[in-house]
A and B are shown apart, each in its own frame.
Chain A
Amino acid sequence: MDPGETEIFIAILLASGTIGTIIICFVFIIARNHKKFLELQRTQLMAEITSLEFERKRIVCDLHDELGPLLAVVKFQMTNLETTLKHDIELIGKATCNLDGILERIRGICNYMMPDVITRNGLFTAVNNFIQELGSRASTEIIFSGQPTPVSRQVELHIYRMIQEMANNALKHSGASRLQIDISTDHDKLILQVVDNGKGFDTDSVINNSTGLGIKNIFGRTRMLNGDMYLTSEPGTGTAYKIEIPIRCNEVQNTIDDCR
């Protein structure tokens, strides 16, 4: 190389070094900030879901402890009304019947919003009860297989909510005739699989348009539990959810923060 070429070559080397350093620095800064952003997002998500659960609990308490007893008193007062008129007796009978219906509905809503059975008997029994109730209202064949899970009650509640959401989606939107729910463990992972044979949907449109609160909710809870979600669905082929939750992070007595 002549001196002129050497000068140009040195200039190229300097430019190359600078470009390389800039790109590498950018990549590392992006990766670092991305990690911080994820932590922040996860904290926000946890706060959102926790406040949602808190609000549900408050509504259930209000319904169960205030509205319920109040309606029971009304029912008691009505049954104690003294009348000899046939029309009034019939009316009291109908009103009492309606009050029973309302009380039953309140119990149903309370159970749907905050199932006591999870805290008392665990996820397996709660899902079984939910399926029985769902089966009585729909013509879909629902199959549930599972085993007791080594995770905390709080985590079980999140899994229960996901199952509720997925089962409701399958029954309401997919028109499925068969719904299969399976909870199993594989090494250090808890695996939840929900498969239906309904009409399915285009997952790309869900990702691109970010519509569908149900899927957001399921995805949000999965992320909160440090899990991964796999969704397979295409129009006409049914829908299959597979959610893998690390047991190590969500064992009884461990907090979710341990796994950050």
Chain B
Amino acid sequence: MTNYVFIAVISYSIVIAAIIGLVRLPRLHGAYQPFIFITILSLAGEIMSQILITHKKSNAVAVNMFGLFDAVLWCWQFKNWNTNKKYRVMLRVVVIALLILWIIENIILRKLFVFGYLFPIAFSLVMVILSGIQLSLEIARERGNLLTTSKFLICTGTVLFYTYRILVECFFAPGMSKSDIFFGNVFIILSLVNFIVNLLFALAVLWIPEKQKFSLPFY
């Protein structure tokens, strides 16, 4: 099995979370809707990339566009999870900043047809920070087992994935003149992490509550 086939196969592991999410969507608590959409979007992104690569075309456009929608959906998800007014204002600022960065990199610098690195690194950093904030809130608020709490699992997954992504994206920055085999091998690490995180997301979707329990922090 070549690196490419291996990466392609494990990338489709998001299908488990997407299917469980679609089946459970009508009964789930509304606050988790963006996350279900993210899993579906990820699956669509994988399929789109697969089609483009099969037709010997670069999947850069699909990846860059997916990055933008992914960022917006994640920010929407974090907004749903946290009702603090200051936090929501901060999220708005983050979304606007990310949008500006995406436009600069992909439209103004005309990099839509090549793989970007500025936006993915910035977005990954934002995701790690937002997930860290949400994890700390969950520790204060959750009254049950954290390891079976959807928000906790999702945030752990995102911290894991986006930390690796920052590490990997740095090697795709200009000036890194390495061989394709090297880049392929580096990308396999991210794919393996992606696989683990996708399984974590599947568990998280399974444990999303149908109605939100009332909870007070520090009580």
- Give chain B nearest CB distance to A233 CB in angstroms: 10
Most buried by B among A1, A15, A38: A1
Q: B214 to A16, Cβ gap below 8 A? A: no
**Residues from 135 to 151 in B contacting A, C-beta threshold 8 Å:** 135, 139, 142-143, 145-147
Please measure, in the bound complex, the distance between the C-alpha atom of A146 and the C-alpha atom of B175, giving whole angstroms.
Answer: 74
Q: A2 to B179, Cβ gap below 8 A? A: yes
B182 within 8 A of A: yes
Give the top 3 A-B pairs by smallest Cβ distance, nearest first. A204-B83, A231-B214, A31-B146
Q: B218 to A210, Cβ gap below 8 A? A: yes
- Give chain B nearest CB distance to A232 CB in angstroms: 9
Q: A30 to B143, Cβ gap below 8 A? A: no
A208 within 8 A of B: yes
Main secondary structure of the interface of B (DSSP, over half): helix
B2 within 8 A of A: no
- Give chain A nearest CB distance to B185 CB in angstroms: 6
Asked, given contacts A9-B185, A19-B167, A230-B211, whether A216 binds B216 with beta carbons under 8 Å apart, the answer is yes
Q: B217 to A207, Cβ gap below 8 A? A: yes
- Give chain B nearest CB distance to A66 CB in angstroms: 35
Asked, given contacts A1-B181, A19-B167, A31-B147, whether A230 binds B213 with beta carbons under 8 Å apart, the answer is yes
Please measure, in the bound complex, the distance between the C-alpha atom of A229 and the C-alpha atom of B219, giving whole angstroms.
Answer: 14
A27: nearest chain-B partner, CB-CB: B156
B172 within 8 A of A: no
Inside 8 A of A30's CB, which chain B residues have their CB? 135, 139, 146
Q: A219 to B182, Cβ gap below 8 A? A: no
Inside 8 A of A88's CB, which chain B residues have their CB? none
Contact partner of B219 (CB less than 8 A), chosen from A16, A208, A210, is: A210
B72 within 8 A of A: no
Contact with B along A202-214 (1 / 0, CB 8 A): 0110111010000
B159 within 8 A of A: yes
Q: B182 to A8, Cβ gap below 8 A? A: yes
Inside 8 A of B122's CB, which chain A residues have their CB? none
Please measure, in the bound complex, the distance between the C-alpha atom of A7 and the C-alpha atom of B2, giving whole angstroms.
Answer: 22
Inside 8 A of B214's CB, which chain A residues have their CB? 203, 207, 219, 229-231
Q: B83 to A208, Cβ gap below 8 A? A: yes
B189 within 8 A of A: yes
Please measure, in the bound complex, the distance between the C-alpha atom of A69 and the C-alpha atom of B186, giving whole angstroms.
Answer: 86
A34 within 8 A of B: yes
A138 within 8 A of B: no
Inside 8 A of A1's CB, which chain B residues have their CB? 179, 181-182, 185
